[in-house]
Structure 1
Amino acid sequence: MLLALVTGAGAGVGSIVFRWCIQQFTRLFSGHQDYAADPGSAHPHLSWLGPFFVVLAPVVGGLLYGPLVQRFAREARGHGVPEVMLAVAQRGGRISPKVAVVKTLASALTIGSGGSVGREGPIVQVGSALGATLGRLGRAGEGRMRLLVACGAAGGIAATFNAPLAGVFFAMELILMTFSAEAFGAAVLSSVTASVIGRAAFGDVAFLDLPPFHVDHLDQYGFFALLGVLAGAVGVGFSRVLYLIEDACDWAWRGPEWLRPAAGGLILGLLLLALPEMYGVGYPVLENATEGEYAIGFLLVLLVGKILATSVTIGIGGSGGVFAPSLFMGAMLGAAYGSVLHHLVPGTAGAAGAYALVGMGAVFAGASRAPITAVVILFELTGQYSIILPMMLAIALATATGRLLSRDTVYTLKLRRRGIDLEGPARGARLGGQPVGEVMEPLPEPLSTRTTLSEAADVLGLSGQGALPVLDPTGRYAGVVTSRDVAEALAEAPDGAPATVSDLARRTPALKPDEPLATALHLLSDSVEGGMPVLDADEGVPVGWLSHRSALRALHAPQQPLASRSALV
């Protein structure tokens, strides 16, 4: 808890430094506090260039951050969150402390010089690096190290966006990818600490200043549902375009990597010249869209422009997040969609700004498949609770659409393209690559759904197993019952305890003999501790048993086929 608190404090201070750096570099390169608020204007100190200075700004910025990243921390390139997810999943939470410094400078230079990326990816990586460093200094175990990394991510999000709840759920849903009371408590402590520091520096106001929106007609829920489906498709499309352009940049560039951001900066500069609203994060443009200041055609141009500008920024080697661009795309999509509805059904559609707000969360959910984070962070960023129901509806449908269209999220796709599966074994790991069928034990004596709790207690006590499979009278798999469940049920009042184990049986995820052991171990950790049955792929009947003990045996001796081991038994 103490380390979580210190991590949150460090992330809060880091967010202040990071935002200050962005402001200073933006003023240096553009002459404005936020160039997107006054697009197309000249640099005050380079007025003779007019708006053409935006062609040179990304080039100069690339000359500064390109060598910095290449020389000191190559993992600081890109949008940051996938690297943190990988560190937590397969590297025991280990992140080099120099990443915090390099990521801060590189991302601030990228955004300040016109890079069309966000702040959340960098601050997550910065906060996570601080947490990992503190864990290393405190000699924390691997589990604690992962938790401190997540605490750093939570604190960074909380302080940067004044969103303490969103920071917690971002860390739990995307970084740890699991929920537990201990992790939640530590993340909350870190997030609250960082938020207090952030509010002291930035004030206690909603991050985005938007007018209030309301749902005025029940028919609007149908419109919001369709928007959720469209937004999910846009989120997946953005992910695909992002890595398609990155592949094109990899293919086209043959020079030294440190020079790539400067050379590619010329392409980005030309894009900014054509569409200066893409300069930097672009929150002023987003707010204008929600207030109905743009025509439908221009909103669609801004949507496509943001997809291209963000993809080019990342593709040339820039450093920055994809969360803010997702919000931007969602606002443009939603505002355009709402404007079309306003023309088609003016008496029913309602304000276009409400669709822009919902679209922001829905596109992020479609790209990241983090619906809880999307709902909470949109509420905290905007302070708009009045449309929470359509927001939840659209985000749920966007998440489902994204899952239907793509196996990966915008974060995991980057890792999978490098041959890394977060649910699979790490490269070079001694355990995890084996098929479950080579590791599983013979199925222990099962319980019947008609077995009483007292009988189950006797069998479990003598079996040496923490859990046993349960079969129905026809021999079909009915679930797993654990010693803990039986003991807790027997401790209840007699009239409150179930009569048989059928009421306690848990339907665990189906394990198949041919799936990788690493994937099975993730499922085992998230379901029951004692073990899980392995089901025949065709019949769905138990053919073996997997536990952590049987998995460890794979380290010491080649496993015999199950039939041979059963014969020996």
Structure 2
Amino acid sequence: MSAISPPRREKNGPSPARGLTSAPRLAGARNAAWSVMALAVLVGAGAGAGSVVFRWCIKTFTSLLSGHADYSASPGADNPHVPWLGPYFVLLAPVIGGLLYGPLVNRFAKEARGHGVPEVMLAVAQRGGRISPKVAVVKTLASALTIGSGGSVGREGPIVQIGSALGATLGRVTKATEGRMKLLVACGAAGGIAATFNAPLAGVFFAMELILGTFSAEAFGATVLSSVTASVIGRATFGDTAFLTLPDFHVDHPAQYGLFALLGVVAAAVGVGFSRVLYLVEDACDWLWRGPEWLRPAVGGLALGVVLLVLPEMYGVGYPVLQKATEGGYAVGFLLLLLVGKMLATSLTIGIGGSGGVFAPSLFIGAMLGSAYGMGVHHLLPGAAGAVGAYALIGMGATFAGAARAPITAVVILFELTGEYSIILPLMLAIVLATAISRVLSRDTIYTLKLRRRGIDLEGPARGAAIGTQHVGAVMEPLPSPLPATTVLADAADLLSRSGHGALPVVADTGEYVGVVTAQAVAEALAEQPDAAPRTVGQLAVPPTTVTTEQPLAQALHALLSTAGTGLPVLDTERGEPVGWLSHQSALRAVHATT
């Protein structure tokens, strides 16, 4: 008989005490769920309104500084405000913009510099979702001034940071828990993307894939509510049209799948190359500049102005140029020039201290690559190549996937832009290949590389954290007595109830480590008997996420938090055999030892 007997089950239902306590708990859980949904709607409304204000600011500053609603639609034209300057006004526009947003960012919110998404990812991963509320205001003005004065960046990074800052502010006002704060930040990002691109599904998956880095029913429900709310506001203001009007998509010949696959491989290399060029130019700007940071965007704006004078198509986000490329409006040589020019112009804009996103530039680069590739294929295989626009669409998604490694977001946003179901198969093929090749070519994405260059690992501990520097082998507990794989479930239940771990390692008759069996798995199997349910723990043992003695504790915590039991075995690095046990208590003891 076990030392600790399990409680007897009441024959006539739960005891009065249990019935009385379960009702308040159930009511509290329902109230919490309703409050999350209400907050998600509020964040979505804020993100949608923020998107409207942000796009109005871009349009206003672009009109003031270039004299056009979108200068890239009429590249090389004069500025009607200063016609005597002719096309040379582009030399001064970035300087004026830099004089305005440089001091603003340097004085009030330095985190508003750059493309924004890495800062949001860092806030969620290591700062409990905390983002200063002033970031929303500063980012709106700085990014609108950057784009309006010719900065060749996108508007999705800023609106992600703006929406996330609104979500964090609402979380702070409502005294939300850390988990809920992170969720509200993700809701802000989802709403921002949805309203900006009129792509509600893409907003949801962008938030879950890149910001949260995880998928759950609660997160999906909250981000959907935020995304839908923001989309309704965006569509009421801008109309129910996509930000691009793309050509019809058709797969006319089975051989095109092979061509799309090859394009995915090439796009992966281009996406990774864009990441490298971006930070190479930023390093060069850091090395060259020796003056005050607030003046850097203005002085660097002269170099950007020269690029715009040579390639005025690089002015601003450049959606009209992208649109024309998908329609086959440029020659192959000029498409490749635009591809290189966008890489340089975007990198220079970020490098001199500008504020804007890299999502839209990666789509732009992908469209140029895809169009040039499609024209080349059409010249070589006129009977099987198909329309050039199809390759432009695939190139957009694959290049973004290669740079950001967010395949679901890439597939969904291109599908929402086209509304063509026939795009799904070739798009998934190219994007999955681009993602896989990108992972081989680079450890980091275009977002995480910025943080790693600052010595920040999103999977590691935050700077100054009490947990993280120790190795697992230094803090682990002794290994509990493992269960033989032939142990019957009734005996396993007895041993698990006395172990205090909620899970135990399982070994085969030969002594080889099999995996871990949890008390929950045993209880569920016993409830299923006498049908065809497992009868020994060997049939229930599952290998958990591998944790080794030489692994940093902060990295092992991710596996510990996702395990079903109260701990998991620590394996010897060389032999792969369990030598210890990592639990939440042992991790917390590491904090006590360092204080």
What TM-score do the two structures reach when normalised by structure 1? Answer: 0.96
Partner of residue 481, structure 1: 517
| Per-residue deviation, residues 502-551 of structure 1 (Å, max 9, x unmatched) | 33322222211111101110122234342221111211111111121210
Could you give the per-residue CA deviations for residues 7-62 of structure 1, whole angstroms, max 9, x where no partner exists? 11101100010011111111111111111111111112222211111111111000
- Consecutive aligned runs of 4 or more in structure 1 exceeding 4 Å deviation: none
- The answer as to whether partners of 1:117 and 1:324 remain within 8 angstroms in 2 is yes
Do residues 283 (structure 1) and 319 (structure 2) align? Answer: yes
- The one of 143, 154, 176 equivalent to 1:107 is 143
Higher radius of gyration, 1 or 2? 2
- Specify which of 124, 127, 135 is matched with residue 88 of structure 1: 124
Question: Residue 466 of structure 2 contacts residue 594 of structure 2 at CA under 8 Å; is this kept in 1?
Answer: no
Corresponding residue number in structure 2 for 1:20: 56
Per-residue deviation, 1:195: 1.1
1:196 aligns with 2:245: no
Listed one character per residue, the Cα deviations across residues 209-257 of structure 1 (whole Å, up to 9, x for unaligned) are 0111111111111111111111111111111110110010001001110
Partner of 2:166: 130
Rounded to whole Å, the distance in 2 between the matches of 1:100 and 1:29 is 23
**Larger deviation, residues 11-20 vs 538-547:** 538-547
CA distance in 1, matches of 2:564, 2:376: 50
Q: Could you tell me which residue of structure 2 aligns to residue 341 of structure 1? A: 377
Equivalent in the alignment of 2:438? 402
Please give the per-residue CA displacement for 1:332-362, whole angstroms capped at 9, x wherever unaligned.
Answer: 1111111111111111111111111011111
SS of the aligned residue for 2:511 comes to coil
- 2:206 corresponding residue in structure 1: 170
The aligned residue for residue 251 of structure 2 is 215
Instruction: Give the letter aligned to residue 575 of structure 2.
Output: E
8 A contact 1:206–1:383 mirrored in 2? no
Report Cα offsets for 1:375-405 as digits up to 9, x if no partner.
1112123323221111011111111111111
1:521 aligns with 2:584: no
Cα distance in 1, alignment partners of residues 73 and 557 from structure 2: 50
Which AA in structure 2 matches 1:102?
V
Q: Is contact 2:515-2:543 (8 Å) kept?
A: yes
> Per the alignment, in what secondary structure is the counterpart of residue 554 of structure 1?
helix
Q: Deviations over 1:433-486 (max 9, x none)?
A: 111110111111222333333332222222111222222232222222222222
Which of 40, 65, 76 pairs up with 2:101?
65
Quote the Cα distance in structure 2 between the aligned partners of 1:173 and 1:496: 38
Partner residue of 2:19?
none
Q: Please give the secondary structure, in 1, of the residue aligned with 2:329.
A: coil
Structural mapping, 1:211-290, within 5 Å: 211-290=247-326
Partners of 2:246 and 2:417 within 8 A in 1: no
Cα drift, residue 185 of structure 1: 1.4
- Tell me how far apart the structure 1 counterparts of residues 564 and 343 of structure 2 sit (CA, whole Å): 43
Q: Deviations over 1:287-319 (max 9, x none)?
A: 111111111111111111111000000000000
Given the alignment, which residue of 147, 153, 156 partners 2:189?
Answer: 153
SS in 1 for 2:593: coil
**Aligned partners of 1:42, 1:222: CA distance in 2, in Å?**
45
Distance in 2, matches of 1:93 and 1:263, equals 35
Alpha-carbon distance, 1:271 to partner = 0.1
SS at match of 1:205: coil
Matched, 1:428 2:464: yes
Cα distance, 1:552 vs structure 2? 0.6
Q: Percentage identity across aligned positions?
A: 77
Residues 195 and 227, structure 2, Cα contact 8 Å, conserved in 1: yes
Cα gap change, 1:211 to 1:486, in 2 (>3 Å): same
Counterpart position of 1:78: 114
Give the CA deviation at 1:493. 5.5
2:415 and 2:423 in contact (8 A); partners too: no
What secondary structure, in the 3-state scheme, does the structure 1 residue paired with 2:421 have? coil
TM-score by length of 2: 0.92
CA distance in 2, matches of 1:471, 1:333: 54
Q: Conserved in 1, the CA contact under 8 Å of 2:248 and 2:418? A: no
Partner of 1:37: 73
**Gap regions ≥5 residues in structure 1:** 560-569
Alignment length, in residue pairs?
559
SS of the counterpart of 1:437?
Answer: helix
Once the two structures are superposed, residues 64-95 of structure 1 have per-residue CA deviations (whole angstroms, 9 ceiling, x without a partner) of 00000001100000000011111111111111
Could you say which residue in structure 1 is the equivalent of 2:33? none
Q: Which of 539, 551, 555 matches 2:587?
A: 551
Match of 2:389 in 1: 353
**CA 1:325–1:527: 2 relative to 1, 3 Å:** farther
Pairs within 5 Å for 1:430-449: 430-449=466-485
Partner of 2:23: none
Matched to 2:216, the amino acid is S
